Chains A and B, each alone.
Chain A
């Protein structure tokens, strides 16, 4: 069977599975729609959380970025796993004890007022929509390759599928589907990695293969060989190439970690477990399932880079002939994401660091994971499987995010603030309309995404880190934190982060709408905008502390509520009203 047909079959089969599960577990009430109800054990909840969490950024984009950043790509690996430690210890058990549906609901109650709740909804929507833009980029890449069209067409088709998929379901459907999606995506990620690791180093375990010697008889370690090859062509050394600076890496990692603990769609998962101790265990299991992919990703990145270099330069000094370029190369050219230009007209493709001489003029980082099995000449069914896995990752996260967005609009804004008497049916309707709106906005902005998928997602994390995480954490750990402090902190935190990000990337990520360009890039201590969330969080904490000290302490009953959520005993079921 040719690759195209095989891909249709594999993608079609996995989609049929997800849709089947979604119909079987259809949401019948608002409670089913927002949280999956009780009775999902921690291991399965952890698996669903992992699928929810690992998006197109993790699956499609991250290893590609690591392939080109080398050591600098570690910020994603540490940031997107270490955040779970914070989540497990600082938020999950207490928010479960509190027992409501949404993050703004907690913030509204803890900071006693509708204004705090509305502000939380705004922060949540800004962060989540940015996150969905990143997913849309990944989905667009996957569909454009799979259907052999240009990127824009792939994106439109992807938007349609996400719409049907997310609007039908609801949390209950999503939870079971996500368990299936986790299995598909981890299998699809690991299989090619095992093949490639085996082929390059003789060790089938990618985590060990990355630290092993090459199987080509040279006796060199894989990472040493990669360092040497890259340095020879003028690129930076793979294993030591820091992202901008040590300080920037520090801040970037911190931003991703606290962003992890501030993203509503992940926090929401911990409302769905039966007991406080299940929330603790769920975080652990989620991290196990995430680590399975995250420890393989650096091997995928390094080995993909190695195979790419070997394809373009089969022997030292001997470059790939234009006429001889492999089929995968031509296929990716169709998507517009891979381009070469024979600048010196010698009929060969040179790939070097010097931009004057480099002829690989465009290698979109987001194509690396999808192209990897083809570059390594793996069988067609593996290639088809990776496309299916990438789509599973993108869809599961997009659905979870859209649910967080829609529930914050229908549940927090409409039911909680503006129209408290809304019927369950209208509430469900409103949340579906909100989903459709979010897909359209994110899809439109995804036509010209501000960064590669993982970079765009990093921006979303920065926004969550600078606004939601500090408000939640102080709400639990400081009895003295009051409404004025928390709200001032959120406003300043997200405001300052948006100011920095939009200055670099344009207002609403529209590149023409940049401002203050005379200030230059990364002007604040050399920090890139993707990493700025940690700085925003520092401002948030500081402002909140100062303001709360000069204003009245929170009322008595709020202080009792804080004391109550700190202790597991007496947790009831999650309740919305």
Chain B
């Protein structure tokens, strides 16, 4: 397989992994399982409510930087970095 094709494959794996976390943090913990998680408390927050109004946002921020860091590393590894 060519260098570019394997770079693209590695990139897709990275994106897919990040999207799983993205989906869990918002749709699963914040919506689908919110009712169940609400029986757990985080201070004055019910946990499902916390995920939907606070936690998911913190996770999104971390995830975007993680992706940028990993993708830049991939560019290096496969020698496809600009300049």
Chain A positions near chain B (C-beta within 8 angstroms): 66, 71, 73-74, 77-78, 81-82, 84-86, 88-90, 93, 207-208, 210-213, 221-224, 239-240, 246, 249-250, 253-254, 275-277, 280-281, 283-284, 287-288, 291, 294-295, 298, 563, 566-571
Could you tell me the distance between the alpha carbons of A93 and B15 in the complex, rounded to whole angstroms? 12
Given contacts A78-B30, A277-B75, contact A84 B60 (CB under 8 A): yes
> What's the dominant secondary structure at chain B's contact region?
helix
A449–chain B nearest beta-carbon distance, Å: 26
Asked whether B53 lies within 8 Å of A77 as measured between CB atoms, the reply is yes
Most chain A CB inside 10 Å of its own CB: which residue of B7, B53, B57, B81: B53
B27 to chain A: which residues have CB within 8 Å? 250, 253-254
Could you tell me the distance between the alpha carbons of A207 and B49 in the complex, rounded to whole angstroms? 13
Asked whether A568 lies within 8 Å of B82 as measured between CB atoms, the reply is yes
B13–chain A nearest beta-carbon distance, Å: 12
The residue of chain B having its C-beta at the shortest distance from the C-beta of A249 within the complex is B31
B42–chain A nearest beta-carbon distance, Å: 7
Cross-chain contact of B54 among A66, A89, A298 (Cβ < 8 A):
A298
Give the bracket for the number of chain B residues in contact with chain A. Answer: 35 or more
Asked whether B53 lies within 8 Å of A298 as measured between CB atoms, the reply is yes
Asked whether B75 lies within 8 Å of A291 as measured between CB atoms, the reply is no
Could you tell me the distance between the alpha carbons of A93 and B42 in the complex, rounded to whole angstroms? 37
Could you tell me the distance between the alpha carbons of A568 and B82 in the complex, rounded to whole angstroms? 6
Asked whether A210 lies within 8 Å of B44 as measured between CB atoms, the reply is yes
A211 to chain B: which residues have CB within 8 Å? 42-45, 50
The residue of chain A having its C-beta at the shortest distance from the C-beta of B11 within the complex is A566
B16–chain A nearest beta-carbon distance, Å: 9
Could you tell me the distance between the alpha carbons of A439 and B51 in the complex, rounded to whole angstroms? 38
Interface presence of B83 (CB below 8 A)? yes
Asked whether B31 lies within 8 Å of A280 as measured between CB atoms, the reply is no
Cross-chain contact of A77 among B45, B57, B63, B68 (Cβ < 8 A):
B57
Most chain B CB inside 10 Å of its own CB: which residue of A82, A240, A253: A82
Asked whether B44 lies within 8 Å of A223 as measured between CB atoms, the reply is yes
B24–chain A nearest beta-carbon distance, Å: 12
A-B contact pairs, 30 of them (CB 8 A): A71-B52, A71-B53, A74-B53, A77-B53, A78-B56, A81-B57, A82-B22, A89-B15, A89-B19, A89-B67, A210-B53, A223-B45, A223-B46, A224-B44, A246-B31, A246-B34, A250-B31, A275-B82, A276-B82, A280-B67, A280-B68, A283-B64, A287-B64, A288-B61, A291-B60, A295-B57, A295-B58, A567-B4, A567-B80, A568-B80
